[in-house]
Amino acid sequence: MRFRRTLEEPEEPIELNLIPLIDIIMFLLIFFVSTTSFIEEPGVDVSKPKSANARLLDKNSIIFAVTPDGKIAYGGKEVGLGGVRPVVKRLCAKEALPVVIQADDGARSGIVIRVIDEAKLGGAKVVNIATEKS
């Protein structure tokens, strides 16, 4: 038996179906949009002081908020002064992350300095205070 190949044109034109390709692209787009990490803002509303040389916040950072009445919050939950060091130690275990302190304009400077000290004792290499550009 001998098989022969013929070089004839097929009778029906070949169609390329793009609908499954578009479906997969949409699925990937939805997946990447939903898994994107955003900057975590604490749930405590503070009025930050103004600064002439303010710069943008790093996306991966540990953010603490100090309210005018002296409460310290992380991620919208009150942690107190004693909770600063364990949070920093836990989050800086794998990679050294910068710590950002959002101190209210009316917060006492003594509490802010104690938060800075606790963050450094927890292992933070860089501690910044958040301000608004004036």
What pLDDT, on the 0 to 100 scale, is given for residue 28?
93
Q: What is the mean pLDDT of the chain?
A: 80
Contacts of 33 (CB under 8 A, 6+ apart): none
In whole angstroms, what is the distance from residue 78 CA to residue 23 CA?
Answer: 44
pLDDT category at 29 given cuts 50, 70, 90 is: very high
Q: Which residues pair with 70 in a beta bridge?
A: none
- Is the domain covering 50-133 a CATH 3.40.50.2300 domain? no
CB 40 within 8 A of CB 75: yes
Q: Is the dihedral of CA 48, 50, 121, 110 positive or negative?
A: negative
E runs forming strands in 17-126? 50-51, 62-66, 72-74, 77-78, 99-103
pLDDT tens across 56-109, in order? 555 578 888 898 888 898 888 888 888 999 999 988 888 888 888 888 888 888
